[in-house]
């Protein structure tokens, strides 16, 4: 009962809207909840969403537009009509999400309840491979040379292609990123990338990781797709149910496809592309050793950026006010990291909506009550699995009086006088943020870590947290020298 659900979506990737030009349907927001509503409609017999209707639209068709993905999931269908289970607006949303020009990957993205932005194409491709691997739908083909179909359709092909194209360009072209901003997180309609797009901007990377994680789950046993996605992402921006599984995507993807395996699969899928007719132009003059080198670099850089480093929610996603005045530039790499707790809010935030609200409250307090130019911290750590950008990597903060130009101020949301943040939040700072800051050149390898209380008259970051960080790498046990 499950493949028809994905295959109805598969058809949408290459079908016309079925809506007269004179009609202007109400198009739902570009939010994962809208996708869940569509899946619910396709499942509902009362709205005509039967397996038979989906089969009539092409049960065995895929959602791919690239040669390698089509080799796995099949050629796209021709023009098809809107399924009766979907409203014209829902149908238009899906066709816009899945039929966009590859040069505009931002048009294929939706905002998830956890605050991440997810490209729908690689997510659904991974889910379809998972269903077919689990015995639902026709068997997957055997690729030659052997390649993992799940990684091929989600990340390996686009990652290898991106790095080959970047290598062959005369310009300073990047192969990964950038991220972007939504016009309104409550009613997202337009997503704008914050720089020139690569074939693997952040939403594509996130959608691919989610496609791998969920595809692997479905290969072990069936679940209704709507139920699977709802449980993975949580429901709605207003949900306070707690940290969703999607916030662990980097860890879970790394466990399934670490750097070594990803490198192998990028090299393998580029080998598959060589066997297709016609061979893609970007591979014609590339030797096997060069392909191996590209695969190595692609896997290493993807792993460093999207697996080993934590996700940072930009200011636009928590609806930050503008900086007041003219910010002063930092001069990296800096030698110190100063750890704080926010005290207020006193309770850790465990969802995107709770953490964004905490960020706005802190910024309002810092600007309106303290009279500062902006929120004081460089970054704020939620217990939802994400960092939130404050002053960021480039601008002098207002977190540790007398030392703001010497280091970054990291605040963890909550009061940690008597209790600690949960282990995952501690690990996010200790094992991900700090090593990533060193690798990226923002912090010196010999940096020192201080609790705020060592640099001023305060109990921050709380007794429990201060005791905890004394065992962390870089902790400086004595009070820092006064600056003169």
Q: Highest mean pLDDT: which of 58-72, 139-153, 162-176, 232-246?
A: 139-153
Query: 65: Cβ–Cβ under 8 A, 6 or more apart, which residues?
Result: 13, 14, 76, 102, 121
Q: Residue 205 — pLDDT band, cuts 50, 70, 90?
A: very high
Q: Give the pLDDT band (50/70/90) at residue 17.
A: very low
Q: How far is CA 460 from CA 327, 410, 455, in A?
A: 25, 12, 10
pLDDT of residue 14 exceeding 70, the answer is no
How buried is residue 211: exposed, middle or buried, by Cβ count under 10 Å (0-12/13-18/19+)? buried
Task: Give the three-state DSSP class for 203.
Answer: helix
Predicted confidence band at 359 (pLDDT cuts at 50, 70, 90)?
Answer: very high
CB-CB neighbours of 79 under 10 Å:
10
Specify the pLDDT at position 1.
Answer: 38
**Cα→Cα distances 28→11, 19, 35, 96, Å:** 19, 15, 9, 12
Query: Do the bridges between strand 379-381 and strand 387-389 make them parallel or antiparallel, or are there none, so unpaired?
Result: antiparallel
How much is the mean pLDDT over the chain?
Answer: 87
Whether the pLDDT of residue 76 is over 80: the answer is no
For the cut 60, the answer to whether the pLDDT of residue 264 exceeds it is: yes
Task: Using pLDDT thresholds of 50, 70 and 90, give the confidence band for residue 282.
Answer: confident
Give per-residue pLDDT as tens, 337-358: 999 999 999 999 999 999 999 9
- Given a cut of 50, whether residue 10 has pLDDT beyond it is no
pLDDT, tens digit, 9 for 90 and up, residues 317-326 = 999 999 999 9
212 and 154 in contact (C-beta within 8 Å)?
yes
- In sequence order, the 6+-apart residues with CB closer than 8 A to the CB of 442 are 332, 333, 334, 393, 408
Q: Report pLDDT for 170.
A: 63
pLDDT of the residue at 479? 57
Most confident of 63-72, 162-171, 338-347: 338-347
- Range in 46-55, 99-108, 124-133, 363-372 with the lowest mean pLDDT: 46-55
Question: Does residue 282 contact residue 168 with C-beta atoms inside 8 Å?
Answer: yes
242: alpha, beta or left? (left if phi > 0; alpha if psi -120 to 50): left
CA 57 from centroid of its chain's CA atoms? 31
CATH class of the structural domain 315-469: alpha beta
Report whether pLDDT(204) > 60: yes
Instruction: Using a pLDDT cut of 70, give the percent of the chain over it.
Output: 86
How much is the average pLDDT of 125-137? 87
Beta bridge partners of 407: 336
- By DSSP bridging, strand 443-451 and strand 407-412 are unpaired
- How many CA atoms lie within 13 Å of 198's alpha carbon, on the beta-carbon side? 28
Span 260-266, average pLDDT:
98
For the chain, where do the domains classified as CATH 3.40.80.10 start and end? 315-469
Distance CA 121, CA 64 (A): 8
Q: Report how far apart, in Å, the C-alpha atoms of 282 and of each of 92, 292, 295 are.
A: 33, 15, 14
Go through the chain and tell me how many residues it has.
484
pLDDT of residue 381: 98
Burial class (CB within 10 angstroms; exposed 0-12, middle 13-18, buried 19+) of 435: middle
The pLDDT assigned to 53 comes to 31
Residue 447 has pLDDT above 70, yes or no: yes
Share of the chain above pLDDT 90, in %: 67
Helix 3-12 vs helix 32-43: crossing angle, to nearest 10 = 120
């Amino acid at each position: 009962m499950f493949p028809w659900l994905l295959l109805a979506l598969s058809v949408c990737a290459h079908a016309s809207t079925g809506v007269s030009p004179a009609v202007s349907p109400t198009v739902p927001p570009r939010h994962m909840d809208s996708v869940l509503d569509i899946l619910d409609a396709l499942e509902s017999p009362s709205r005509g969403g039967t397996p038979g209707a989906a089969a009539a639209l092409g049960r065995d068709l895929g959602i791919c537009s690239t040669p390698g993905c089509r080799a796995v999931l099949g050629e796209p269908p021709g023009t098809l009509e809107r399924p009766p289970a979907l409203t014209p607006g829902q149908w238009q949303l899906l066709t816009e999400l899945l039929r966009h020009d590859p040069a505009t990957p931002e048009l294929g993205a939706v905002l998830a309840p956890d605050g991440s932005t997810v490209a729908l194409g690689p997510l659904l491709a991974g889910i379809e491979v998972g269903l077919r691997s689990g015995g639902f739908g026709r068997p997957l083909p055997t690729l030659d040379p052997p390649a993992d179909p799940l990684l091929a359709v989600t990340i390996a092909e686009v990652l290898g292609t991106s790095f080959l194209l970047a290598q062959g360009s005369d310009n300073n072209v990047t192969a990964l990123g950038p991220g972007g901003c939504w016009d309104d997180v409550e009613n997202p309609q337009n997503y704008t990338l914050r720089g020139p797009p690569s074939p693997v901007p952040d939403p594509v990377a996130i959608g691919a990781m989610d496609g791998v994680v969920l595809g692997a789950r479905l290969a072990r046993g069936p679940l209704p797709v709507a139920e699977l996605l709802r449980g993975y992402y949580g429901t709605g921006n207003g949900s306070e149910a707690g940290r969703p599984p999607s916030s662990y995507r980097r860890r879970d993807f790394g466990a399934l496809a670490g750097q070594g395996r990803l490198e192998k699969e990028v090299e393998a899928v580029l080998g598959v592309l060589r066997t297709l007719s016609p061979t893609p132009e970007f591979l014609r003059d590339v030797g096997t050793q060069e392909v191996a080198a590209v695969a190595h670099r692609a896997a290493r850089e993807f792993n460093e950026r999207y697996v080993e480093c934590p996700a940072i929610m930009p200011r636009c996603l928590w609806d930050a006010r503008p900086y007041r005045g003219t910010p002063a530039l930092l001069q990296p790499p800096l030698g110190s990291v100063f750890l704080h707790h926010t005290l207020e809010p006193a309770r850790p935030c465990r969802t995107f909506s709770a953490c964004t609200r905490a960020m706005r409250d802190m910024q309002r307090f810092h600007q309106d009550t303290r009279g500062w130019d902006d929120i004081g911290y460089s970054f704020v750590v939620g217990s939802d699995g994400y960092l939130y950008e404050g002053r960021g990597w480039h601008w002098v903060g207002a977190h540790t009086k007398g030392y703001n130009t010497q280091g970054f101020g990291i605040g963890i949301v909550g009061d940690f006088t008597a209790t600690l943040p949960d282990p995952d939040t501690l690990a996010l700072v200790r094992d991900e943020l700090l090593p990533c800051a060193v690798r990226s050149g923002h912090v010196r390898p010999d940096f020192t870590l201080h609790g705020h209380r060592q640099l001023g008259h305060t109990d921050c970051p709380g007794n429990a947290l201060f005791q905890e960080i004394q065992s962390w790498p870089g902790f400086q046990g004595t009070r820092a020298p006064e600056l003169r």
